[in-house]
A and B are shown apart, each in its own frame.
Chain A
Amino acid sequence: MIKKILSLILVLTGIAVINSCTKLEEDILDESSVVGLTDKQKAEGLIAPVYAKLLDVFMHTNYFALQEISTDEAILPFRGGTDWGDNGIYVQLHKHENISSDVNVRNTWNHILIGLSRAVTAINTLSDNTDPNAKVFLAEARGMRAYYSLLTLDLYGLIFVKEDAKETSKILRGEEAIEYIKSELLAVEPLLDNTTGPGRLTKAGVWGLLTRLHLNAAVYRDRYAATFAFKNEDMDKVIEYCDKIIGSGQYALATEYFSLFNDNNHTNKELIFAVDQRADLGNGHNRMAYFSLSGDQFPLPAFPTANGTDGAAITPDFYRTWVNANLPLDPAVADPRFYKQNLVIPGDSCIPAANFNIDRGILRGQQYGLLRVSGAFLKCANGNMRVGKLFSVTRSKPTLAVDFTEAIDFTIAGSNYSTGYRVSKYEFSKTSVSGRNFGEHDIVILRLADIYLMRAEAKFRKGDPGTTALADVNLVRASRTATTPPKPLTTMSLDILFNERGFEFYWEMVRRTDMIRFGKYEGTWTEKTNADKQKRLFPIPQTAIDGGSNLPGYLVQNPGY
């Protein structure tokens, strides 16, 4: 009996000992780490995420909304009382009534700063990497850190200087911030490559960013000035860097304007710096193309769920600048940048799927397209796609025509699904199953036309009588030779230059910066009367202010918020 007891106790204690006394170290089972990677894998794996964050920054609701919906180029009402209400943030943004809890202001901030932080990680880790590309990647990471800083300076009026991921960033504003960005860009310029394509930061890309920095330096130096004091040295620098880009001979103006925004634009020689999207990588988005289209516009015969969303439209004010500049001609006739017809209606109302392409540019009036019934497109007897007049079927309003009107505002009538002229600038990515995903086109950050127009502006601001500036502007206008190019301009003024930038770069996310620089941001346009200069900057997101509250005085909210 005693033996039995003893053996039992032994067994029990045995179990106890075997299973007990752990050090409680946490094993990670489902996450891969960087152990065992080659230097090449590490180097590429570190620089890729720095660029990849641009995709999130350049979303329709993020950088696009901040740069365009806050201006006369775009307006987004509460569509039909059901869509894009979003707690009023798009209305606030347009009326310059932003508040610090605006999610889009916050998301843009977060994405930019995550990108910046990834650049810091890459800078900290790439220096001892032996991969042949590591040196260039390191320079690109520094350059991207400067680019992300340029974005925060432009949007929020401050930059974060961070050399070591473990340190707390130093906050700079105004002149100090400009100097920091400038010195960083200049430091990496000699180390960069010039053959890596527009998807990565090249020498020319850095020259372009320096151009932007100098052109806007007067604004960044004295943000709330009544009039900005543009310094000649800055303008000289603008001209110098533009000359370098133009003189490099690497870039060429596109003959067909909308080819700049096609799926295959990566090889377009006008692009200097862009967000490289590849459908086969699967990360990209088609938001630039889908945002403005109607929910009843289905641009891809292959995908009956890929539609638009009735998002932003252009304001009537902006439309009038086109009309007035081209009188007595209709802008669609006068300027190939305004409109490109791909769909001839009703003559070809049965179209082979391969030939179906929606119109590009600014869409007006009744829209035609693929007819979708119960989730499938109608086909003609010969198998072609049936094309016809579109109605708001997806809006449960099968009798309401998709007929875009000039008038759009925040009233009930002005907020209906079809109000406002729409922008179909980027090609609707051919592989976009949902209309939102699988972007293919590169999203343009800098292109050669901008270099010419910035050079023209610098020359004009320096006191050039207008002739050389006019030459640069007309060179760009005349280059779109695929169809009849717009007529050359004959006179030059800041207002003409401002409008020209609108015609050339509408919805390319430069409008807010342009409006501030040209002193137009406190102006009046559809649904916008607020003339508060403090709205030239966005608020620092409340979450960041809260997060920084345990370091008193560290992160100070911009005035007026």
Chain B
Amino acid sequence: MRKIYFSKHSLKFFFAMLLTSICFFTPGNAFAQQTISGTVRDASTGNPLVGATIVVKGSNQSTASDAQGTFSIAVQGNNSILTISYVGYTSQEVTVGTRTNLEIALVSNSVELNQVVVVGYGTQNKKDITGSVKSLKSDAFNKGIINSPQQLLQGKVSGVNVTSASGEPGAITSITIRGPGGIRTGSTPLFVVDGLPLDNSSTGGGDPLNFINPQDIESIDVLKDASATAIYGARGANGVIIITTKRGRAGASTLNFSSSIGFSKLARELPVLTADEFRVEVPKAGGVLDDKGGNTNWQKEVTRTAVTQNYNLALSGGADKLTYYASLGAQKQEGIIKKNDLNRYSGRFNATQRFLEDRLVLEVNLNVANTKQERPPITSVLTDALINNPTYPAYDANGKPAIYQNINNPLLFFELDKETTTINRVIGNISPSFRIIKGLVYKLNFGIDNSTATRDVLNLPNAVPLREGRLENFYTWNRNTLIENYFTYTVNKTHHDISTLAGHSYQKIFVQGRNNSINRFVIGGVDPIYNPGVGQDLTIANNRPRGFAFINELQSFFGRVTYQYNNKYLFTANFRADGSSKFGENNKYGYFPSFSFGWKISDEDFMKNSAFNNLKLRAGWGRTGNQEIPPKITQELFTTLGSASYPLFPAAGNYPAGYAYTRLANPDIRWESSEQTDMGLDFGLWNGALSGTIDFFRKVSNNILLQVIPADPVQPATDVWTNVKDMRITNRGVEFELDYRHKSSTGITYNVGGNITYMKNKVENSPYSIIPAGSVSGAGITSSTINGYVNGEPIGTFFLKEFTGFDAAGLSTYTDLDKDGIVTDKDRIAAGSALPNTIYSFYGSTAYKGFDLSVNFNGVAGNKVYNYTENVSFSKLRLAKNVNSTREAFADERESLNNATPVTSRYLKDGAYMRLNNVSLGYNFNTKNIGIDRWVSNLRLSVTGQNLFVITKYEGYDPEVNIDRAINGVSSYGIDYLSYPKARSIIFGLNFTF
């Protein structure tokens, strides 16, 4: 397929050139040196391709296309052949002939067969991969306002569940790959940025990936199965996400400026009663209406139309030996709740320099980021906005927030309480590689990731209501250093391609935190943030400074062999030995092997004339680990404890420091291990028009890390970390991806596709009758739990009393499972899981002339959500007490006014949803037509709608929720508790390339 793109203008130009060339050509010039120029474009979009390589076959002559896609090169005569290649596109050979200006249209390799996939300590061609790996390039990312880089992936990769549980700028986005393998927190994948594995503990709160400017990301590679992740050993069990940032290309200097402005609004208000409805419903519920005559929509009062501005300037380019990419980004994001902002300034410099006839290649990456976040007291503001009596006016006669005795006016607390977090992060690495002999390359990777955070939690003093004021400062440091040395050796012989890797890695992570505080300020005085010394009260009981620090060290030896026979039979083996300072002397090192095979069926002779241009069968097995447990658990702690002091003598003061064990040691602790089998089939038909992948996987985790209660209950501390030997957590599933793209003869291209994952999780052989998670507190329900992990049920199971309706007295009835006449915790049932069994997404895009449009849906099904907000905030009784409520909470007429509302399946709701995540419409100006191409090679306008609608039965803000209310580090799932509501946004973007 070779299509040459002509715009009307260029066609004229071409003929003109042709004419002139004829005029000048004489036969004697046939073998003389001449200069050919041309343009390289994408065959389907017509966009210029920047940095394509143009080589004159059989000579040393080579060049690259510039920012407009144009190039010029000297050739010897008309018979010269140019080879034009570009990553991700099928290379072309063009005979120069008599032309002096060439229009080259490269066809993108639609099945992405030539796509380069980053696999950890190297790259491989997609076609040669034997593991389950998905590579996503920047153009496929989700668009719009991106709170954290994980959201770029949402719905894009099968088997990956991204839950952006909070609509707050910068909040943590949870991501699991092929289901959670452990039951405690720490089931997030390992993130590797430009070869540097990150430490997942976040500094100063918020998402650990906040520092990355999404616009700097070139690609995200998701390593899903163990045969791919085993190279990361003890940290591979939850999958690995490799982020690669952009690099420059030789010979193509570009300056790209993009800006966008987005407007976000609360996507959906919770349907609490309006003032008029409230006036009707309170007496109806049996209460005495407390009517202050107002008509306040409290949710509206605390939210706003938030504006997000984003500016990004990127330079890239380079010459023969040096390429660079540099960017500066500024993002000013407002949250939809007032006084909630996140500003990020980021800078990046990536460079590659070649020395010694390209034998030595030096890569440098440097990223600095400064984020500043301001937060009001979100939970209390949201609570007040939902439950406050809507007949109370929000403002008093002077336009100030009105003050009431019996309700909190959230508007007041916007002024009084704030939390400011500033994070400075520098992450950089330098990685020289040296080709010692042909095929043998030594590479060093030295990286450092240093972040510091300051969090000021300020409560200002106030007269009415009376508050003394308090300032608390938290400081956190995180320094992650890495040094890796490895060799790769590649041999390519007829029929045999072997590539080997062997290396050593040492990583040290230092984490420290400190905090201090001071109380009592003068009203209206200096902002204590700027001078905490204005505080007037400092006591050891109220202001004891605290701190912690620890070091985690990891030392690893790793290797990989890939072997290809005849380009059809592929074999990969990975091995890593991981040593961690977290583990005991006898279990310092864990060994993590993996093996995988691939068979390119489509390259077999018998497939020669079939419709399949690609058909590859993959199978693999591997073992990986999870070491995400707190440090120091191999050592007991016998230390002074404030609460262990006691007055031994009559005199006051001078009390002895009490020493007690506060931590039991488990010197035998080891990593949790996970074994995964994967079988997959990659296929492409009709020259890649239709392509897809299907994968079956089974991931079994054992040696589950858990804090347990020792058999002998006489212990200085109630629990100890251990590996629960026989306990097993299994994740099984099928993933299916399909993509179809087509270009009609009229020039319309379109692309549709989607993916679906069906997954099942199961806990087995747990020695515990129930492992509770999801602690709650609130009226009547303190000490209840929402989740509970029991044998035979998945993680995220809701373990609840089963609500069956109301009795004659209007009181709730529940299933009495053990028929003992009373309903207790013993009668709880597994009432469904928060983990969806189906995750899907589908998309479509089309382009014609300069226009392009893309639409992207994603959704989940088979999961439940616990509406803890409703449970704790809304009830008929509370409504009767003039506490606002949703109708759902008091809808049943039979319910008695004073019915208790404990944690039960009554608040368990269907969590399935389908979201129109993204709609984006863009227009690329033909800069030539409008005559600005000399200065501007590319000009694009776009408009993106984000979270335009959600189809769901769930009546909370959004079914995509997960407030982790862990108990003893055991994660809860699917609990909706005053989650920061999601926004619906419209974003206008402008993009120039010079």
Contacts and interface: CB of A to CB of B under 8 A. Distances in A.
Interface in A90-116: 92, 97, 99, 101, 103, 109-110, 113-114, 116
B1 to A, nearest CB: 46
A490 interface: no
A280 interface: yes
A542 interface: yes
B642 A78 contact: no
Contact of A282 (B642, B656, B781, B881): B642
A43 B485 CA distance: 52
A267 B756 CA distance: 74
Size class of the contact patch on chain A: 35 or more
Nearest to A51: B646
B405 A398 contact: yes
A28 B637 CA distance: 10
Interface in A1-41: 1, 4-5, 8-9, 12-13, 15-16, 19-22, 24-34, 41
B716 A22 contact: no
B360 A86 contact: no
B581 A375 contact: no
Nearest to B465: A375
A114 B716 contact: yes
B645 A87 contact: no
Contacts of A28: 550, 632, 635
Interface in A405-430: 412
B24 interface: no
Given A26-B635, A29-B551, A197-B650, A41 B769 contact: no
Interface stretch (B164-172, B704-712, B848-856, B905-913): B704-712
B714 A282 contact: no
A292 to B, nearest CB: 18
Nearest to B782: A86
A144 to B, nearest CB: 11
A433 B441 CA distance: 68
Contact of A8 (B360, B638, B661): B360
Interface stretch (B217-225, B265-273, B896-904): B896-904
Given A20-B504, A49-B659, A89-B783, A30 B550 contact: yes
Interface stretch (B11-19, B540-548, B979-987): B540-548
Given A21-B555, A44-B656, A547-B708, A92 B824 contact: yes
Interface string B634-650: 11011111111111111
Contacts of B465: 374-375
Contacts of B405: 373-374, 393, 398
A374 B462 CA distance: 10
A374 B648 contact: no
B305 interface: no
B292 interface: no
A172 interface: no
Contacts of A52: 643-646, 658
Most buried by A among B549, B658, B903: B658
Interface in A332-349: none
Interface in B341-377: 356, 359-360
A447 to B, nearest CB: 18
A47 interface: yes
A169 B551 contact: no
Contacts of B822: 97
B648 A26 contact: no
B406 A375 contact: no
Interface residues of B, number: 101
Nearest to A540: B713
A550 interface: yes
Contacts, number: 277
A276 interface: yes
Given A29-B551, A375-B464, A85 B780 contact: yes
Given A33-B638, A375-B465, A25 B711 contact: no
A147 to B, nearest CB: 14
B882 A396 contact: yes
A441 interface: no
Contact of B551 (A26, A373, A433, A546): A26
A184 to B, nearest CB: 15
Contact of A48 (B553, B646, B653, B718): B646
A278 B652 contact: yes
Contacts of B634: 26
B648 A8 contact: no
Contact of A24 (B555, B770, B784): B555
Contact of B640 (A21, A32, A304): A32
Contact of A83 (B542, B779, B902): B779
Contacts of A515: none
A117 interface: yes
Most buried by A among B403, B550, B639, B711: B711
Given A19-B483, A20-B504, A24-B588, A81 B779 contact: yes
B780 A81 contact: yes
Interface string B744-756: 0000000000000
B736 interface: no
A30 B548 contact: yes
A114 B718 contact: yes
A295 B532 CA distance: 33
B506 interface: yes
B446 interface: yes
Nearest to A32: B639
A24 B579 contact: yes
A366 interface: no
B691 to A, nearest CB: 42
B565 interface: no
A250 interface: no
A62 interface: no
A517 interface: no
A90 to B, nearest CB: 10
A261 B770 CA distance: 42
Nearest to A78: B780
Contacts of B639: 31-34
B783 A113 contact: no
A551 interface: yes
A474 B467 CA distance: 52
Nearest to A161: B714
A543 interface: yes
Contacts of A276: 646-647
A225 B645 CA distance: 42
A338 B182 CA distance: 57
A412 B898 contact: yes
B467 A375 contact: yes
Given A26-B551, A29-B550, A45-B659, A87 B712 contact: no
Interface string A517-551: 00000000000000000000000001111111111
A546 B709 contact: yes
Contacts of B824: 92, 97, 99
A120 interface: yes
A160 interface: yes
B754 to A, nearest CB: 44
Nearest to B288: A399
A448 to B, nearest CB: 19
7 nearest A-B residue pairs (beta carbon) = A85-B780, A547-B709, A375-B466, A44-B656, A49-B644, A412-B898, A48-B658
Given A12-B442, A24-B555, A278-B652, 10 more contacts: A8-B432, A45-B640, A84-B780, A87-B783, A117-B661, A121-B716, A168-B711, A266-B650, A393-B406, A547-B711
15 contacts: A20-B485, A24-B555, A26-B581, A31-B637, A41-B656, A49-B658, A85-B900, A87-B780, A87-B784, A113-B713, A113-B715, A196-B649, A278-B652, A412-B898, A549-B711
Interface of B: 356, 359-360, 403, 405-407, 432, 434, 442, 444, 446, 464-467, 481, 483, 485, 504, 506, 512, 540-542, 547-551, 553-555, 579-582, 588, 631-632, 634-635, 637-650, 652-653, 655-661, 708-718, 767-770, 779-784, 822, 824-826, 875, 877-878, 881-883, 897-898, 900, 902-903
